[in-house]
Structure 1
Amino acid sequence: MATIEIESVECFSSSDDIEDEEMQSLVSSHPHLFSSKNHTVVPSGIAPTSVHELLECPVCTNSMYPPIHQTRVHNRCPTCRQELGDIRCLALEKVAESLDLPCRYYSLGCPEIFPYYSKLKHEAVCNFRPYSCPYAGSECSVTGDIPFLVSHLKDDHKVDMHTGCTFNHRYVKSNPREVENATWMLTVFHCFGQYFCLHFEAFQLGMAPVYMAFLRFMGDENESRNFSYSLEVGANGRKLIWEGTPRSIRDSHRKVRDSHDGLVIQRNMALFFSGGDRKELKLRVTGRIWKEQQNPDAGACIPNLCS
């Protein structure tokens, strides 16, 4: 639970309410912080006022929400050092209830202003919040916008980058019966002015390995719906085809993988596609990405294939 040390605000522990005179005293002691009796509104593009800063945890800098506790005396009597229990700063909680503040991502372009207690719900889904790195091979904690993440994938993770919206992916494994979780490959494609992540991996499903290929869109979910993709694998007169919509990288790699939202190949079928003595896995996955365009006359979507 976030706490705060406040020297200029009297904290109360024995009352569930604050008298108007006490609130007026707080307001009068900080007249520059209030634009009206009830609300402080911070326009977009302007840094938060010091009221907002008062409501930030000094350790993690996240906004604090009730119960807000006062830590100046560290919950002990300064004379006898006996524990006093949690001391709530009710005055600061009442100030928080009166505020309208910008989204924490205002510096990244979000123009929205919300009541203080609505901020968290919005910020969890804000379209301007940074994206997480889509690299699946490690617990990478890097976040940023799409151009930054593309450079990060190329420079730090050494991911293969390709231009175009068709691909021919070859996967070879010498001993297909020894499949460990998170055996994976990642390739990034650039087409239609967007970036896509092609994942191909093997993982254990129950007692047997499976092989899976799927595509993720480097952008938000509402944008990803503008695109479709197909994946195809086959040999010996057999063929498996998958068509779908790429998932946004807002969904984690594990979430997409565990939902099986992609081309899933069982080991026996994968070995059949490989041919030979079935002792070596040789899969070739081909695919393409296209953009769905709205036909203004028919009101239907038609594919726009990349040249």
Structure 2
Amino acid sequence: MAGFSVDGSGLNNGASKKRQRLTLALTTRKSTGDTEEKKNRTATLLDLDVIDCPVCFNTLTIPIYQCDNGHVICYTCHKKLRKKCATCSLHIGSRNRAMEQVLQHLRVPCPNSEFGCPKNVTYDERSRHLQQCDFTQGPCPFNRCNFTGSYEDIYVHTNAEHLKSLDMFECGNPVFIHPESGERVVLKEQTTEGGRKLVVVECFTTPQGRIIYAYCIGPMVPRTHEFSYSLKLYSSNGDRLCFESSLKQVRQVSGEQPDEHFMFVPSHMCPDYKLHICINRKTY
């Protein structure tokens, strides 16, 4: 039985460029009766592009498909091209089990190893690991702040540099907020029960009205939808809007207008209104 690992972190997501070679550590186990011999061997992968999809240039992930001429393609492109090879136009109907075995045993350092992550992961698990990695870097949620770091670094930074701008919340208690268009309101959980949570509320202006959206930043660990939230808006003319949703977990702020799970405020109710947010911890 053989397993691979990679010494070095010269990996990136853009596969359109030739990437530098990496040295692979190959461990071979050979059983002899009741004993098992273990040998360490090294090999060098000269061109990392060979484990990228030749169509979309993203890293190949299992399942991997091939045409009758042996040209490989990723699962996503396999569906988009309707089982037709982009290289030779032949039918793509079989899996490339050999390449899948290589990816299953090829282990690489986490791309965040330079920031302290000690884990080695299989090559096709890198993206999933990065979503949960405590060392993944992200920007400070406050506008016009250039600080970047891990979630723990961001949490410490916001307490040290933006404490006066933070709004505090306790689960189950409504908080008055007033998000301006294009700005963010950042709320910090005040209790210690599972604490260290930062919630961001963003406001976007459209020709028809405003979009108000809340989410929690941090590693996307299991039980992502740990919180729910409700928004209650009271306009000066007596109208009222209510909205409830799960509090989505994201790795970092994006500043992009959401396409779901948001409150829409018609323009005739803007901007003279009061808004309360209530965040609740879900019970299981």
* Cα pair 2:184 2:202 within 8 Å, conserved: yes
What SS does the aligned partner of 2:174 have? Answer: strand
1:120-156 CA distance string (max 9 Å, x none): 445543434425235151374502133x212212333
Aligned to 1:93: 45
Aligned AA (2:148): V
* Mapped pair 1:132 → 2:87: no
Aligned to 2:182: 182
Give the structure-2-normalised TM-score. 0.54
Partner residue of 1:150 out of 155, 175, 186: 155
1:15-47 CA distance string (max 9 Å, x none): xxxxxxxxxxxxxxxxxxxxx9x6555xxxxxx
Q: Indicate how the Cα distance of structure 1 residues 290 and 69 shifts in structure 2: closer, same or farther if over 3 A, else same.
A: closer
Aligned to 1:259: 259
Aligned to 1:284: 274
Aligned AA (1:242): F
Larger proportion of helix: 1
Q: How big is the shift at 1:246?
A: 0.9
Aligned to 1:52: 7
The 2-side partners of 1:172 and 1:149 are apart by: 21
CA RMSD, aligned part only?
Answer: 4.0
* Cα pair 2:107 2:120 within 8 Å, conserved: no
Aligned AA (1:103): C
Partner residue of 1:197 out of 192, 196, 199: 199
The 1-side partners of 2:136 and 2:208 are apart by: 37
Q: How big is the shift at 1:262?
A: 2.2
Q: Indicate how the Cα distance of structure 1 residues 100 and 193 shifts in structure 2: closer, same or farther if over 3 A, else same.
A: closer
What SS does the aligned partner of 2:223 have? Answer: helix
Aligned to 2:230: 230
Aligned AA (1:52): D
Q: How big is the shift at 1:104?
A: 4.0
* Cα pair 2:227 2:280 within 8 Å, conserved: yes
Q: How big is the shift at 1:261?
A: 2.5
Q: Indicate how the Cα distance of structure 1 residues 135 and 230 shifts in structure 2: closer, same or farther if over 3 A, else same.
A: same
Q: How big is the shift at 1:160?
A: 1.4
The 1-side partners of 2:130 and 2:188 are apart by: 27
Q: Indicate how the Cα distance of structure 1 residues 110 and 268 shifts in structure 2: closer, same or farther if over 3 A, else same.
A: farther
Aligned to 1:74: none
Q: Indicate how the Cα distance of structure 1 residues 221 and 237 shifts in structure 2: closer, same or farther if over 3 A, else same.
A: farther
Give the structure-1-normalised TM-score. 0.51
The 1-side partners of 2:151 and 2:220 are apart by: 11
The 2-side partners of 1:167 and 1:157 are apart by: 22
The 1-side partners of 2:182 and 2:179 are apart by: 15
What SS does the aligned partner of 1:130 have? Answer: coil
Aligned to 1:20: none
User: Equivalent residues in 2 for 1:1-307 (5 A)?
Assistant: 39=3, 41=5, 52-53=7-8, 56-57=9-10, 67-68=18-19, 92-93=44-45, 100-105=107-112, 111-114=119-122, 117-118=123-124, 120-138=126-144, 140=146, 142-146=148-152, 148-158=153-163, 159-165=165-171, 166-171=173-178, 182-191=182-191, 192-194=193-195, 195-201=197-203, 203-205=204-206, 207-220=207-220, 222-235=222-235, 236-250=237-251, 252-255=253-256, 257-270=257-270, 281-294=271-284
**Which stretches in structure 2 are left out of the alignment for 5+ residues?**
22-42, 49-101
The 2-side partners of 1:141 and 1:171 are apart by: 24
Percent identity, aligned pairs only, is 12
* Cα pair 2:132 2:221 within 8 Å, conserved: no
Give aligned pairs, total.
201
* Cα pair 1:108 1:128 within 8 Å, conserved: no
